[in-house]
Structure 1
């Protein structure tokens, strides 16, 4: 299918993009386009106008600042895959195919907040900070407050996710995923990371309306438990023709156990 008619603009700078968003609330941001364009082709999304920010070089690249990695929102999955970042390169390996990885962006995926996307679970496990900019200035949102609901993040209308900050002091990390065979999205994915000082953060994606922390697992590990089941209640999970809520709850247990064994 073809998308409905729409107007197209291309931003030359972050400031220009923010001004365009302020002037036209109907503008929809497009980066790599691998989330938005399929929805437009199916007429599930019909934005009247698109603002292309993919070419903004100021939002690209990976650099280290002390104990923190700074990653531009327009950095592609392929660039993440080749980087020395904790956990994210492993997650990027699971994203789509080479075409998607060379065009899709980490910021676009995170801001889109797809409930089956891989990066949100990794962001929660790593304790990533999101830097969001609007006409009123810049603000920082912690990963715990970033994913609000299904396809809903903390990025408000008129704002841009400009970059993310990842701790460079992660001691070990792992991501385990049971993927849909056609879309390669997560039926369930579990990410775990050991932080400096020994704290382990864990999160899951694909099973609920948004990526969430695995609080029961984290608390159990603090108490010295090694093997745990019933980490999430099936009553709060998604169920569809691919996997029931009960099966997704079971997968969370299985994948969390695998990820922890890899963590060592």
Structure 2
């Protein structure tokens, strides 16, 4: 299918993009084009029909990876393939790096962007849970300047975030998790590869015990969620299979099963079961990543 007609503009800078958003704010529906892997298929099928399309994929100031002190900074237009090729991301954000490895396929990872993924807020996308587990801060830019939004406050619901209609998500900042253990485990949809359930885990350890944990999930509710009961169950726990399994049993404690996603591929009750299984797998994979690193050293 072909999309409906639209006006196309290519932004050269963040300020240029904001000016275009302001200029066309009253001209019907305006959409931002990042990697295009979500928006363009929706336009072709008629699910989305913007009157104005603003291409921000070439804005250089929204690209790149850097480390400043204890903070990893990632431009919103940085592609998945660049994240996978970055030693800084692997070192400072291991849970995010593990999730990016499971996004789409090679073609998608060569074009898709981290900011497009997070701003689109598809509940079945792989990165919301990892952003939550990584304690990310999402930085937007609007008419009044920059605004910092903790990942815990960023996702409102299906395809809905705290980014205002006159704002851009420009970068993601992540506190360094150097030395922590990170992993991501998901049950992919057999038809699309999106997550029926995906769980990201970031564990800080000291000796044979867990000192702190952050666990995030996607594909379960209508937006990414923290699994706080799992985190609490892991605190000061041992690094063994029994502790991981026991903690995973609490994955759904704060979640209403009746409000979980339900579709032809998995009912809400089945997703609740999958959540426990894949939480345990993520925790176990995180521990195993530490063992693999130690063996390599």
TM-score (norm 2): 0.86
Separation in 1, partners of 2:182, 2:115:
21
Change (3 A) 1:196 1:5: farther
Counterparts in 2 of 1:196 and 1:8: CA distance versus 1, 3 Å = farther
Q: Taking structure 1 as the reference length, what is the TM-score of the superposition?
A: 0.96
Q: Could you tell me whether the CA contact under 8 Å between 1:230 and 1:249 is conserved in 2?
A: no
Change (3 A) 1:127 1:196: farther
**Partner of 2:213 in structure 1?**
200
Larger radius of gyration: 2
Aligned to 2:43: 40
1:52 and 1:118 map into 2 onto residues whose CA distance is 23
1:141 paired residue among 142, 149, 154: 149
Query: 1 or 2, which has the higher helix percentage?
Result: 2
2:176 and 2:235 map into 1 onto residues whose CA distance is 22
Pick closer, same or farther for the CA change 1:37–1:201 going to 2, 3 Å.
Answer: same
Q: Mark the CA change 1:53 to 1:103 in structure 2 (over 3 Å): closer, same or farther.
A: same
Residue 223 of structure 1 and its aligned partner are, at CA, apart by 6.8
Question: 1:238 aligned to 2:261?
Answer: yes
Q: SS in structure 2 opposite 1:199? A: strand
Task: Tell me which of 32, 53, 65 is aligned to 2:56.
Answer: 53
Deviation for aligned residue 1:260? 1.2
Which residue does the alignment assign to 1:187?
Answer: 196
Q: Distance in 2 between matches of 1:223 and 1:71?
A: 31
Counterpart CA distance in 2 for 1:122 and 1:80 is 13
Q: For structure 1, which runs of at least 5 residues remain unmatched after alignment?
A: none
1:67 shift after superposition: 0.8
Instruction: Evaluate the alpha carbon distance shift between residue 180 and residue 247 of structure 1 in structure 2; reply closer, same or farther with a 3 A threshold.
Output: same
Deviation at 1:96?
A: 1.1
Assess, with a 3 A threshold, how the Cα gap between structure 1 residues 41 and 129 changes in structure 2: closer, same or farther: same
Q: CA deviation at 1:124?
A: 0.2
CA contact (8 A) 2:230 2:250 kept: no
Counterpart residue number, 2:290: none
Q: Deviations over 1:197-231 (max 9, x none)?
A: 83101011001100100122112223745414252
Alpha-carbon offset, residue 195 of structure 1? 4.3
**Residues 128 and 196 of structure 1: is their aligned pair in 2 closer, same or farther, counting only changes over 3 Å?**
farther
Query: In the alignment, which of 43, 65, 68 is matched to residue 65 of structure 1?
Result: 68
Distance 1:13 1:223 in 2: 47
Match of 1:213 in 2: 226
5+ residue gaps in structure 2?
A: 238-242, 288-297
User: Where does residue 11 of structure 1 map in the other structure?
Assistant: 11
Q: Following TM superposition, by how much is the alpha carbon of 1:263 offset from its aligned partner in structure 2, in angstroms?
A: 2.3
CA distance in 1: counterparts of 2:286 and 2:126, whole angstroms:
18
* Distance (Å, rounded) in 2 between the aligned partners of 1:59 and 1:118: 21
